[in-house]
Structure 1
Amino acid sequence: MRHVPFFRWVLTLGFVLFTCAVGLYAFGPGLPDTRQIDLTVLDEKPDGACRVRWHDPYQDRTREEPYRCDPGRSDLLKAPQWADGGGYGWESGFMLTEGRHRGDLEDAGADTGLGSADVFLLLGAPLVTLGLIGGNLRALPRTLGVRAPLVRRAMGLSSAAARVADDYERALAAVREAGRHADLSRDTGSGPGARLVTALWVLKEAGPSAGETAARGRAIARRLDGLLQDTAPSADLRSSLRAGPVARARAGRAVAELGALLAEAERDGLPERCAQTSVDLLRGQDAEWAALAAATDFARDPAAYRHLLARWAPAADPPPARPAARTPWWRRRR
């Protein structure tokens, strides 16, 4: 069962609304152009309600209208302290310079309300925040389940164990193949006999524990391969995020078993033994040097090689006896 990407859709919706708001701000109708002008305050109340006069250059006349003055400005700008000689006060404002209302004052105290862009922005911003925070909180348990170093160690051990098992099987196969075409009593200087001696020398140099190491490597490689399939969601962050809860639970159990198996193998020195045994079994790749070393060692102790041959390549079964020739009926004794 895969998880439902709820917060991903919330984040997507928030980005869509946010993009719409940006588009409306960029390409929608903007605020009209204005310029700041001086206003003569004819009458002013303590709450800021006043009546002002200004010159309208577009209609070339002086106009008077109610206005909202700043009640907190200095008293020196208010009547009768304002030194204009007429007993009026002073204020500044913004006059519209375009559109059919040009020449009018822009009322800073008027409530223009929310536009479409503002609504989209107010809806999109919380959704983006919710998607980011909720998605990260939901992904946190999955990211904590990632055990990439442990999985990499297990993969390395599995590869080394399978490799040493394959190398040992190839060495045994070489001995058995050479043993079918030659023996140690003749032709050990060249030809099939030399190949048999070289194959036996490779196994002899690998040591008596090579077979045990290969067998254990084969067994642990099979166990690791099964566990590594279950621990796939713990291999990296991407796999963990894509896995469902059932797969993550199975991966958690597999990781625990994998850790115990690795600890036991490393405590016994199995990775090092597998690596060293593989190196020993690959000595026969240099055929000329291996043949020379094998011939020298065989001449020193041929009995050991015969013992090894009997152990690793037992004599083939004797050929079946040929049936006796039948006596013609006319020669049979009556």
Structure 2
Amino acid sequence: MRHVPLFRWIATAGFALFACSVWLYATEPDLPAARQIDLAVIDEKADGTCRVRWSDPYQKKTREGPYHCDPGRASSLKAPDYPDSRGYGWETAFMFTEGPDRGDLEDPEADRHSAEDTLLLLGVLLILTGLVGGNLRALPRVLGVEARLVRRAIRLAEAAGWVSEDYVRAVDAVRDAERRGELGAAPDPGPVRALWVLREAGPQAYEAAATARDLAERLHPLLEEAAPAAGLRNRLQAGPAARADAEAAVAELRRLLADAERQGLRERFAQTSVDLLRGQDADRAALAAGADFERDPEAYRRLLEDLAPLEPAARPEPRPRRRRRRR
């Protein structure tokens, strides 16, 4: 089950409303021109409701009408403190200077952008909800990212796969060479060189390969389940069930890595692979193998007998990359 980006859609809707409000503001016709004039406040209530008088230059007369004064202005501008011989207060307003309403006062309480303001407010609220809610929803998923641990497990699985693959290759080389010749008094250099590689690696090579094979078989399914924890993007895209499986897999990977580190498995695997790759230098390996065979040919025959009844080890999946040989 994939996670549904609910808050992403909420934020998208908010941006759409925000864009609509901007468009309405841009396409709305300009307000009529106005200029500021002085008013004589004849009567005023505590809430700002007042009756004012002003001079209308267009009708060439003094006009009187209701207005909403600023109740918070200084008391020295209100009657009776304002120094007016008639006992009036003082206020300012904007008077229209063009259009059919010229000479009228602009109502400061008029809501000229109700639709635009509503869309703008809703858009901002939805955007904030989408951003905050999306981040809060993503927080527990982000906290579950264990990219470093998953990378360590991948490197350990690769090392295990490599040593298992190298051991299978070395044993196969012995068996292929053994079919071409016996270990007689003058044996074929091929089987001798292949056996020399296994002798140099020692009995611990078989143990390391077996341990590596078992460990790789345990790591690979865990790494598949832990995939959502390998990166932030995978974690965010995974569903609740996949995240729960990833958390359980990460816990098991952490335990396996701790055991592997305590036993020094990565170092053992690396050293075993180096020992098993000594036969790649055919000329040098042939000289060393020939000399060693002359010293103890019976040891080579016993090793060949020990390998003959063994079942071929399970072949690991081919690796896309191959690390460099350590010198």
TM-score, with length taken from structure 2: 0.80
TM-superposition CA deviations, 1:228-283 (whole Å, max 9, x none): 22222222222222222222222232222222222222222211111111121122
CA apart distance, 1:88: 6.8
Greater shift after overlay, 93-102 or 229-238?
A: 93-102
Q: What's 2:191 paired with?
A: 196
TM-superposition CA deviations, 1:9-62 (whole Å, max 9, x none): 33332232222223222333454443334x252734465524232353xx3735
Q: What's 1:280 paired with?
A: 275
For residues 42 and 239 of structure 1, the distance between their equivalents in structure 2, rounded to whole angstroms, comes to 69
Aligned: 1:139 with 2:138 = yes
For residues 65 and 116 of structure 1, the distance between their equivalents in structure 2, rounded to whole angstroms, comes to 32
For residues 146 and 116 of structure 1, the distance between their equivalents in structure 2, rounded to whole angstroms, comes to 45
Q: In the alignment, which of 242, 255, 258 is matched to residue 250 of structure 2?
A: 255
For residues 88 and 269 of structure 2, the distance between their equivalents in structure 1, rounded to whole angstroms, comes to 102
Would you say the 8 A contact 1:42–1:53 is kept in 2?
Answer: no
Q: Secondary structure at the match of 1:209?
A: helix
TM-superposition CA deviations, 1:302-324 (whole Å, max 9, x none): 3333332333357xxxxxxxxxx
Counterpart residue identity of residue 76, structure 2: D
Q: Secondary structure at the match of 1:112?
A: coil
Q: What's 2:321 paired with?
A: none
For residues 291 and 102 of structure 1, the distance between their equivalents in structure 2, rounded to whole angstroms, comes to 111
CA apart distance, 1:207: 1.9
Q: Equivalent pairs: percent with the same residue?
A: 54
User: Which 5+ residue runs of structure 1 have no aligned equivalent?
Assistant: 315-334
For residues 257 and 33 of structure 1, the distance between their equivalents in structure 2, rounded to whole angstroms, comes to 75
For residues 281 and 34 of structure 2, the distance between their equivalents in structure 1, rounded to whole angstroms, comes to 91
Structure-to-structure mapping, 1:177-256, within 5 angstroms: 177-187=176-186, 193-256=188-251
**Distance change in 2, residues 1:74/1:285 (3 Å):** same
Counterpart residue identity of residue 95, structure 1: M
**Distance change in 2, residues 1:263/1:70 (3 Å):** closer
For residues 5 and 266 of structure 1, the distance between their equivalents in structure 2, rounded to whole angstroms, comes to 40
For residues 42 and 250 of structure 1, the distance between their equivalents in structure 2, rounded to whole angstroms, comes to 76
Q: What's 2:314 paired with?
A: none
**Distance change in 2, residues 1:35/1:173 (3 Å):** same
Q: What's 2:126 paired with?
A: 127
Greater Rg over alpha carbons, structure? 1
Would you say the 8 A contact 2:82–2:90 is kept in 1?
Answer: no
Would you say the 8 A contact 1:179–1:313 is kept in 2?
Answer: no
User: Which 5+ residue runs of structure 2 have no aligned equivalent?
Assistant: 310-327
Aligned: 1:41 with 2:23 = no
Aligned: 1:21 with 2:21 = yes
Counterpart residue identity of residue 153, structure 1: R
For residues 27 and 249 of structure 1, the distance between their equivalents in structure 2, rounded to whole angstroms, comes to 52
Would you say the 8 A contact 2:14–2:127 is kept in 1?
Answer: yes
TM-superposition CA deviations, 1:48-103 (whole Å, max 9, x none): 524232353xx3735423244445336368678548x8887654332334443244
Greater shift after overlay, 294-303 or 147-156?
A: 294-303
Q: What's 1:165 paired with?
A: 164
Q: What's 2:323 paired with?
A: none
Counterpart residue identity of residue 269, structure 1: G
Would you say the 8 A contact 1:175–1:313 is kept in 2?
Answer: no
CA apart distance, 1:177: 0.9
For residues 178 and 291 of structure 2, the distance between their equivalents in structure 1, rounded to whole angstroms, comes to 19
Q: In angstroms, what is the RMSD of aligned CA positions?
A: 3.0
**Distance change in 2, residues 1:294/1:68 (3 Å):** same
Counterpart residue identity of residue 276, structure 1: Q
Q: Secondary structure at the match of 2:203?
A: coil
